[in-house]
Structure formats: structure tokens, C-alpha cells
Amino acid sequence: MDWSRTKTIFIVTFLLLNSFLIYQLMEKRAGSQLNVRAEATIEERMSEMNITVTEELPEDMEEISHIVGQVVDIEEEVSGIVGEENVTENEENDLVEVSLEEPYDTPEGPYDSEAAREAFNESVTDFVENNVYEGEEYVYGEWDNENREMHFYQTFEDDPIYTSEENQLVLTFNEDTQITGYSQIFLNLQEQDDKKDMFLPYLAIERLLNENLITFNDSVTEVEIGYFNFFSPIGESRVFSPMYQITINGDEEYLVNAIDGAIQEMTEVDSANTDEEVNESEEADSPEEETEETEEQAPNPQETAEEQQSE
């Protein structure tokens, strides 16, 4: 064997490998510098227009992907928690429905102090964690004052997922603010293999800026990452897109796709879901005049419920 030749081959191979690694490192540094310069430019534009960001932006991630949710049959597991006699399965929409034999007590009102609200939230959190299958995987979403229901969303790596049904976990309350039951659907969530470069948070804000959806003296009051499914599911699978949910001045909400930067207003999402419901209702013999559905604010005990389960 020609050891001299073998040694030369090894040396050349290691030189090529080192050159490749150095190239990758330089490319990564160059990309990082471009991002920093771009962010500085956006911040300058926002400063000139007196646009403020009042919340910390989500942490940058190099790559992100869609996620797929598969419905899990949890009737047996829920029966083991609350008792088989209290559980029914709604096969039409994959829900497990629970009616409590005895209502679950929460602290009585009034809830006009921070301590009273915290006590209420802790009580609800305890119920969800101890009486709901994988309850720690859900976060507070909203309060339906008309129906006395509290809605929760399942999470994927601490980020909420949103489905068109908005019924992932719904607690029902009586007039005494006791929990009387709940309905639940649970998804097994998996990332798709085809990860993409993530559209960074400040670029999502810039996209709204370029479309004049953010203008002079506006305030970006909230920027969160979530996963959205915009259409009624077919079968037991749902595909969720990663989206930035950006709130302007505390009321206007926009979604910016965290992969391609496409913009969608929250009203468009609601409209798409409403259209599906209207199309179904048109098949009825005597369709009623469409009424506008309004969301009411939560009463005092629920106003800070979004703080629960955050730890």
C-alpha cells in the first residue's frame, strides 16, 4: 500500500471538509448580519411613523413547519377520570361529552379584586388539570357569556392551535359559577417533515406596514405564534398552518403566515367559517334570516383567565 498517497488523500479530504464548514459558518454569519440590518431598517421606519411595539416578539426559530392533527379516541381515558356513567361520545363531531354528577365548586363572587380573580382562575386550572384528559395541554381561549361557557385551545409545544369548530375543550357553568360538565376533542399532533425557513416576527410586522395595515401612531399590542386550521376537517385529520397573530391597537387582528408571509384578516377567517355554516343552512325548507353572532366579554372572574396554565 502506498502510504504516502493515502496520507495525501486524507489531507486533501480534511482540507475540503474544513473549507466547506468555514463556508457554511460565513454564510450563516452573513445571513444573521442581513437580518440585523433589515430589523434595524424596519425599526427606523416604525420610529419615523411613531409606531410602537408594546409586547416582546416571539422567539426567532430558524425553521418551522405545518403540523398534522389526528383525532384520538379518549372515551376510555376520560371515563377513567370522571366515571363511565358521566361520559358520552358524540361520534358525529368526535367530541367526548361529560356531565358531572355533582357540580364543581369555584370561589363565589364578587370578583372585583385581583385576589378573587386569581382564586377563581386557580380553581378552574385545578379542575382542568385533574378532571380533563391531558388538561395541561390546553390554554384559555375565551368566555362565552351568553352560554356560560369557557373555551380552551389545545397547544403544540406551548403554542395554541385553532380549529374552525372552536370546540376543543369547552367548560359549562351554571348560574352559581359552578362547573357542570365539559366537551373535549383531543388531537395527536405531529410536525410535517418538510420544514421551511421561518418568516421572522419583525418581517411579519413589515408586511403589514407595506400593506398600510399599520400606519402612523399605531401600536402593535400583541404578537403571538399559533397554528390555524381554516376549514372543516375531512375525516379525522386536520392540517394546521403556523401563523403570527398580530393585534393592532388592541382590537384589529391580522394573521401573517410564518412560512410565506401571506396576510389574512381574522374577519376573513370568521367569514370563511360562517359561509360554510350558511351553505349548510340553505338546504333547510324555511331558512331563517341570518343573524349576526356577537362575542360578549367575560365577566370579572374570567377577564384574567388567560393567565392560567401559563406556568
Query: Is the Cα torsion angle 111, 114, 115, 121 positive or negative in sign?
Result: positive
Same domain, 204 and 220: yes
The C-alpha cell at 156 is 403544540
Chain segment 290-307, per-residue pLDDT in tens = 333 333 334 444 444 444
Report the pLDDT value the prediction gives residue 34, as an integer from 0 to 100. 42
Statement to judge: residues 272 and 240 lie in one domain:
yes
Q: What is the pLDDT of residue 254?
A: 94
Domain housing 130: 67-190+299-307
Q: Is the model more confident about 262 or about 167? A: 262
Which of 77, 68, 179, 94 has its CA nearest to residue 134? 77
Digit-coded pLDDT (tens) for 257-290: 999 999 987 655 555 444 444 444 444 333 333 3
Sign, CA torsion 192/194/197/203:
negative
Say if CB 156 and CB 65 are below 8 A apart: no
CATH number at residue 257: 2.40.128.690
Q: CB-based burial of residue 214 (10 Å sphere; 0-12 exposed, 13-18 middle, 19+ buried)?
A: buried
Q: What DSSP character marks residue 309?
A: T
Determine the Cα–Cα distance for residues 287 and 284; give it in Å rounded to an integer.
6
How many domains is the chain built from? 2
Between residues 38 and 67, which one has the greater pLDDT? 67
Q: For residues 199 and 174, state if they share a domain.
A: no
What is the CATH classification number for the domain harbouring 107? 3.30.310.160
The confidence score (pLDDT) of residue 11 equals 72
In a shared domain, residues 90 and 43: no
H or E element that contains 120: helix 114-131
Q: Residue 93: which pLDDT band, with cuts at 50, 70 and 90?
A: confident
- Asked, for residue 293, whether it belongs to a domain, the answer is no
Q: What number of other Cβ atoms are within 10 A of residue 23's Cβ?
A: 10
**Confidence category of residue 27, pLDDT binned at 50, 70, 90:** low
233 pLDDT more than 80: no
pLDDT recorded at residue 288: 37
Q: Virtual CA dihedral for 179, 162, 189, 197, nearest 10 degrees?
A: -150
| pLDDT confidence bin for 25, thresholds 50/70/90 | low
Residue type for 183, please? S
Report CA-CA distances (Å) from 144 to 36, 48, 82, 173, 182: 43, 40, 24, 10, 14
Are 214 and 271 contained in the same domain? yes
Q: What is the pLDDT of residue 202?
A: 87
Q: Examine the pLDDT at 37 and tell me if it is beyond 70.
A: no
